[in-house]
Amino acid sequence: MATIPGPGAHVLVAGGGVTGPAVARALLRLGAVVTVADGKPAAREKIAGEVPGIVVADLDGHDPSGYDLVVVAPGFRPTAPVVVAAEAAGVEVIGDVELAWRIDRSGAFGAPRDWLVVTGTNGKTTTTQMLESILLHAGVRAVACGNIGRPVIDAIGDDADPRVLAVELSSFQLHWAPSVRPRAGVVLNVAEDHLDWHGSMAAYTADKARALSGELAVIGLDDPVASGLRGEVTVGFTTGTPGPGEYGVREGVLVDGAGAPVLPADAVSPPGPAGIADGLAATALAQAVGVTAAQAGEALAAFRVGAHRAEPVATVRGITYIDDSKATNPHAALNSIEAHERVVWVAGGQLKGADIAPLVQRVAPRLVGAVLLGLDRDEIAGSLARHAPDVPVVRVSSGEHSPVSPMTNDANRSVGTTGAGDVRVSGDADAVMAAVVAEASRIAEAAAHDGAAPVVLLAPAAASLDMFTSYGHRGDAFAASARALGDAS
10 SS3 class: strand
- Cα–Cα distance for residue pair 268/252, rounded to 1 Å: 11
What element of type H or E holds 347?
strand 343-347
Q: Is 189 labelled as part of a ligand binding site?
A: no
Q: Is 122 labelled as part of a ligand binding site?
A: yes
Strands laid side by side in the 311-316 sheet: 311-316, 319-323, 455-458, 343-347, 367-372, 393-398, 421-425, 413-415
379 SS3 class: helix
Cβ neighbours for 404, distance < 8 A, ≥ 6 positions apart: none
Long-range contacts of 140-148 (CB under 8 A, 24+ apart): 140/164, 140/289, 140/291, 142/166, 144/168, 146/97, 146/173, 147/74, 147/173, 148/124
Q: Is 126 labelled as part of a ligand binding site?
A: yes
Q: Is 120 labelled as part of a ligand binding site?
A: yes
- Cα–Cα distance for residue pair 145/15, rounded to 1 Å: 19
Residues in the chain: 489
Respond yes or no on whether the N-terminal peptide bond of residue 270 is cis (omega within 30° of 0).
yes
Phi, psi of 389 (to 5 degrees): -65, -20
Q: Is 40 labelled as part of a ligand binding site?
A: no
Torsion of CA 358, 359, 360, 365, to 10 degrees: 110
Calculate the CA 478 to chain-centre distance: 18
> Residue 221 corresponds to which amino acid?
L
- Cα–Cα distance for residue pair 177/101, rounded to 1 Å: 8
Numbered residues of the known binding site for ATP: 120-126
| Annotated binding residues | 120-126
